[in-house]
Amino acid sequence: MMRNYTHLPYLIDTHDYCRQSAGNRALFVLAQTLSMTYRYEVFVTSQVKGPHAPFLKTADEKTIAQIAREGVVIYPETNAGNKYDAKHVVRYLLNTPGFIRGDKSFPATEKIFAYSELLKEHLRDEKNILTVPVIDRNAFLKFPIVPRSGALVWKGKGKPVDVTPDPDAEAAREITFEWPESWAALGGEFRSAEILYTYHTYTALIHEARLCGCPVCIIPNGRFTRQQVHESPPWDAGIAWGNTPTEIERARRTVMFFHPDYDILLNNFPAQIRRFIHETQKGDAWIH
């Protein structure tokens, strides 16, 4: 029998758990936080696997239909439209709308939250930032300290078409979706590398490398500006904007300051999640 909810239940529209996708991990961490920390009724639409399996429930068709009528459905920006015809919709921007897939704009009836301040231009209310912590701090540590040598590069699914390949980056060992095979192994690579080159400005690898004391060289692709990165938590300590000697030296000199900056980002989360709950539990007070 379906229960009568004291508070609005949540349904989070998810794909199967994927360790390599920070956005995917964010949806599962959000679900677990709402369920385990704040004791709300939370369901996801995919089969629950991975580290969150003991804590989450997969919604069946009846549950989906009831939450669509009575609760809150959370869609990532990659999922176009309102496929469950939900009464209360939250659109959680984990990336630029339409950049991967999905819609570029959303109905006025939807509440919009963004994972990062880099995406705040797409918000109706710039206070609606929800940076769910997705990095395993046990894997990405500065210690043990080992001699650094060589470089790493992240190309993702490919270099942006309008970016000229950088010789130093092209000569580096490439991080892929298959290698390293675990977070622990990736942390070890970051602790032993001299630098990470990335053709992508928006990736959790930039934070993970700096947590391990590895400076990062962003090869600008025109998507975000240096000023945006400088102003968006956790800011730009340890980042070189372009592969020049001056920038590389700045990154190496400042990477030690990234840890306290990242701690500030994490410390913002409790207030952010409380705001998220307050805004999404209004029920019929939503504007329709």
Q: How high is the pLDDT of residue 288? A: 45
pLDDT digits (tens, 9 = 90+) for 221-273: 889 999 999 999 999 999 999 999 999 999 999 999 999 999 999 999 999 99
Encode the chain (288 residues) as per-residue pLDDT tens digits. Answer: 345 567 999 999 998 888 889 999 999 999 999 999 999 999 999 987 777 667 889 999 999 999 999 999 999 999 999 999 999 999 999 999 999 999 999 999 999 999 999 999 999 999 999 999 999 999 999 888 889 999 999 998 776 777 899 999 999 999 999 999 999 999 999 999 999 999 999 999 999 999 999 999 999 988 999 999 999 999 999 999 999 999 999 999 999 999 999 999 999 999 999 999 999 998 666 654
Question: Could you write out the DSSP letters of every residue in 192-254?
Answer: H-SEEEES-SS-THHHHHHHTT--EEE---SSS-HHHHHHSTT--TTEEESS-HHHHHHHHHH
Residue 279 CB neighbours (<10 A): 18
pTM of the model as a whole: 0.93
CATH architecture, range 10-134: 3-Layer(aba) Sandwich (3.40)
CA 283, chain centre distance (Å): 27
Based on its alpha-carbon atoms, the radius of gyration of the chain, rounded to whole angstroms, reads 20
* Every domain of the chain and the residues it spans: 10-134, 151-263
